[in-house]
Amino acid sequence: MVHVEKLTPAIGAILTGIDFTRPLDDKVCDAIYQALIDNLVIFFRDAEISPAAHMAFAQTFGDLGEPHPLYPHVDGLERIVKLENDSGAPPDTNSWHTDLTFQAKQPFASVLVARHVPEVGGDTMWCSTYAAYEALPVGMKRDLEGLEAVHDFGDFRNSFATDTDTQTSKERLDSAVARFGQMVRPLIATHPTTGRKFLNFNEAFVTHVVGLTTNEANALKTWLANHMAKPEFQMRWRWRAGDVAMWDNRCTMHYAVADYLPAYRCMNRITVINDRRVS
């Protein structure tokens, strides 16, 4: 039987009673899905899930994402992103973000497995964008309703802003802009399963607010980022190797704390594109 223990009132739960060495039956997957919808991010301690079981587990919820546009993958398994960092390869996931909101299809969920974690540090934080919306002042809710924001590859620009032997930074940035494109999304959105509203903003990928000047948009973006930084909307997970996290990428943002260098940290991530139970 799946047991669910909440970690904070707004977000996060630990699930126990699941054996990842065997195929999971539909009833167990439905219970996990419900726990995800209710708690936004769920954890399985010491799950020791194999890469094959990781893929099979993610696939029970929807189709797997294409290989990541920037990150490498696990040998022979291109749908499993390998997030591997140390002082020679510092992480770039230490900003609040919702995965790939600049793509036409914003992914439904991610399943992250800790393969190697530093002795101390390297925690991940999640934020409920439902809670952030619900705590907005009434006037701000009214002002944001109907506004739309432009999402592009935002912070990933850093990876393209230097010359290489074959290309200038301008050429690399121009081709990245063409490759990744941009999306316009409402600032207040509604979750397809729960019908709850959430604040559809993340500081890594929202670059502009439609209809405002850059100066006005910057002021609003800073206000929203500060509002969403409140600990009341957030939780923080201290990893052990073998842990698994799964989050609903529609109504959360996350931040991988980059406090562990020069130590080594390695995570495996699978993105689930669509929510099979909705479509």
- Active site residue ranges: 97, 99, 254, 269
For ligand SIN, the closer of residues 112 and 272 by Cβ is 112
Which two tokens mark 83?
A: 């997030």
Rounded Cα distance, 96 and 5, in Å: 25
Using rule CB under 6 A, residue 124 touches ligand SIN: yes
Judged by CB under 6 A, the chain residues 239 through 268 that form the site for ligand SIN are: 254, 256, 267
Using rule CB under 6 A, residue 80 touches ligand SIN: no
| Residue 87: count of CB within 10 angstroms of its CB | 10
Using rule CB under 6 A, residue 270 touches ligand SIN: no
CB 186 within 8 A of CB 178: no
Number of residues that bind ligand SIN (CB under 6 A): 9
For ligand SIN, the closer of residues 142 and 238 by Cβ is 238
Q: Which of 39, 93, 129, 249 binds ligand SIN (CB under 6 A)?
A: 93
Q: Which of 36, 53, 83, 220 binds ligand SIN (CB under 6 A)?
A: 83
Instruction: Give the containing element (helix H, strand E) for 111.
Output: strand 109-116
Largest CA distance in the chain: 57
Using rule CB under 6 A, residue 269 touches ligand SIN: yes
Q: Whole-number minimum distance, CB 267 to ligand SIN, in Å?
A: 4
For ligand SIN, the closer of residues 53 and 125 by Cβ is 125
Q: Left (φ > 0), alpha (ψ -120 to 50) or beta: where does 59 sit?
A: alpha
Which two tokens mark 166?
A: 């074959």
CB 262 within 8 A of CB 86: yes
Q: Whole-number minimum distance, CB 68 to ligand SIN, in Å?
A: 10
Which two tokens mark 235?
A: 């939780």
Using rule CB under 6 A, residue 54 touches ligand SIN: no
Which 3 state secondary structure label does DSSP give 170?
helix
For ligand SIN, the closer of residues 95 and 193 by Cβ is 95
Rounded Cα distance, 98 and 42, in Å: 16
For ligand SIN, the closer of residues 118 and 186 by Cβ is 118
Give phi and psi for 55, each to the nearest 5.
Answer: -65, -45
| Contacts with ligand SIN, residue ranges (CB under 6 A) | 83, 93, 99, 112, 124, 254, 256, 267, 269
